[in-house]
Structure 1
Amino acid sequence: MIRTLRILSANPMSLLGLLLVALVVLAAVLAPLIAPFPTHNGAVVDFVYANQGPSARNWMGTDLVGRDIFSRILYAYQISLVLGVVVLAIATPIGTIVGLLAGYLGGWAGGVLMRITDVFLSIPPLVLAIAMMGVLEPTLTNAMLAVTAMWWPWYARLVYNIARSEREEGYVLAAEVIGASTWHIAFREVLPNCLPAIITKMTLDMGFVIIIASSLSFLGLGVQPPTPDLGSMVAEGARYLPDSWWLTVFPGLAILIAVFGFNLLGDGLRSVLGVDEQ
């Protein structure tokens, strides 16, 4: 851990990414403590302060019904991070198992698994998510399911490429000679060599999941009001540009900070773990 931090700190951009990710995570975790108006994460109306620009009272201004935008962004980070963690916690194991078995087994079994994967990969991710949300009720749970359905194939393809190259290595052949089972070789011998690439991709994908989730909310297919969500906040404010610019600019900057941080951190981890582009 110390060695990893030392290597990351040697790269200014990776260190910046780590600091931004830490800032976003802390903002989400400590939102109930640091939000100036913690009750503004729900259905609260205060027309006295409605649609006011940044001030000493409201650092990032207020929305159309008087809710503090800074407070809502902090709580929106909670939604974004929870969605990203849950999506990757589901999609990563599914894609890893499919790719690992397809890459190690090969033959007709591997061919069938990868053709199924290719079917999902052939559909643009956002289009697939929109299609699913078009027939499901727009809730946080359904948004997670929609994003998960489009995310696991990328891990399947990544692990498949690694496993296919590893199955001819000496340690795999030695395990086969001594009679190790297929499951033992795949999950105890090959999988550990896939983990650095998987961890790096998960870090990079956190930013992309936040973008996709925000895009769904921007289109009205994700988290629904009054629950704060960065995408829906941008969509609501876009109708009042440029006069009420703070309604869109600050939630947009919040998305930028989160995505930029995870991308920089992912690039740094790629260098630390020695992961090649797949």
Structure 2
Amino acid sequence: MKKIFVTLTRNPLSLTGLILVGLVVFAAIFADFITPFPDHRGAVVDFLNFNQPPSWTHLFGTDLVGRDLFTRVIYAYRISLILGIVVLVIAVPIGVSIGLLAGYLGGKTEFVLMRMTDVFLSIPPLVLAMSVMGLLEPTLANGMIAVTVMWWPWYTRLVFNITRAEKEEGYVLAAEVIGASKLHIMFREILPNCVPSILTKMTLDFGFVILIASSLSFLGLGVQPPTPDLGSMVAEGARYLPDSWWLTVFPGLAILIAVFGFNLIGDALREILGVDQ
């Protein structure tokens, strides 16, 4: 890991990604200390300062009820990162396990698991997430469920392809000859060879999870007010363009910074680890 980090810091693009992601994570963790109006993350109104352009007091301006937009963007980062972490923590183990089982066992197991995976992959991700959210109450928890439902099949397909190739390698055949169990071979022999590809995809996907979650909120199917969310802030501000441009521009830039940062790191990891995706 130390070698990977050193290599990342030597590449200008990956270093830029590390800085951007580091700023996002730092802001999300220490939002209570760096935001000028912490109470503005909730149901607060200040009609004396409503819809104000950027100033030294309100760096990103204020929204339609007078809340500090900079404060709400920083707290929205916290929501986005929590959602991304939870989605990947759930989706990756599910997808990896199914991919290992289908790739190594083959036969009817492969047919059933991969056809199920193909069904999910055949549906556009955002459409699938919207369908799930249409059946559930629009909350943060349900937003995580919706995004998780659409995310695990991509890891299943990735690990399945790697496992199907790796199971013919000598080290796997040697493990079979000495009587190692199927679970041991899948999770102790094959899985470590999948880790570089999984790690690279997770880094790239983190930004896309944030983007999809923001898209759901933009459509009114994600996190609901007064909880700050980047997608819902963009949607609200879009109705008042171009006059109140700051309502849309700053939340939109916040999404761009997060997605761009994770993508730069993911691309660099793909080159460092020699992953061909």
TM-score by length of 1: 0.99
Percent identity over paired residues: 74
SS of the equivalent of 1:244 reads coil
Instruction: Give the 5 Å matches for 1:121-270.
Output: 121-270=121-270
List alignment gaps of at least 5 residues for structure 1.
Answer: none
| 1:25-75 CA distance string (max 9 Å, x none) | 001001000001000000000001000000010001000000000000000
Give the equivalent residue in structure 2 for 1:7.
7
Q: Distance in 2 between matches of 1:2 and 1:127?
A: 40
Amino acid at match of 2:32: P
- In 2, Cα distance between equivalents of 1:254 and 1:246: 12
Residue aligned with 1:60, SS: coil
Distance 1:266 1:24 in 2: 16
Cα offset for 1:207? 0.4
RMSD across aligned positions (CA):
0.6
Which amino acid is 2:185 matched to? I
2:100 maps to 1:96 = no
- Paired with 1:107 and 1:168, the residues of 2 have a C-alpha distance of 15
Shift of 1:88: 0.3
For 1:84, the equivalent position in structure 2 comes to 84
**What's the CA shift for 1:273?**
1.7
Give the C-alpha shift of residue 269 in structure 1. Answer: 1.1
Partner Cα separation in structure 1 for residue 65 and residue 21 of structure 2: 30
CA distance in 2, matches of 1:4, 1:124: 34
Deviations along 1:205-233, one digit per CA (max 9) or x if unpaired, are 00000010000000000000000000000
State the distance in 2 between where 1:57 and 1:78 align. Answer: 22
Query: What is the match of residue 57 of structure 1?
Result: 57
Distance 1:204 1:75 in 2: 22
Q: Give 3-state SS (helix, strand or coil) of 2:76's partner.
A: helix
Task: Give, in whole Å, the separation in 1 of the partners of 2:117 and 2:46.
Answer: 50
5+ residue gaps, structure 2: none
**Aligned-pair CA distance for 1:10:** 2.2
**Normalization by structure 2: what TM-score?**
0.99
Does the residue aligned with 1:227 lie in a helix, a strand or coil? coil
- Cross-structure match for 1:109: 109
Q: Read off the aligned partner of 1:176 and give its amino acid letter.
A: E
Once residues 116 and 5 of structure 1 are traced to their aligned partners in structure 2, the CA distance between those partners, rounded to angstroms, is 38
Which residue number corresponds to residue 75 of structure 1? 75
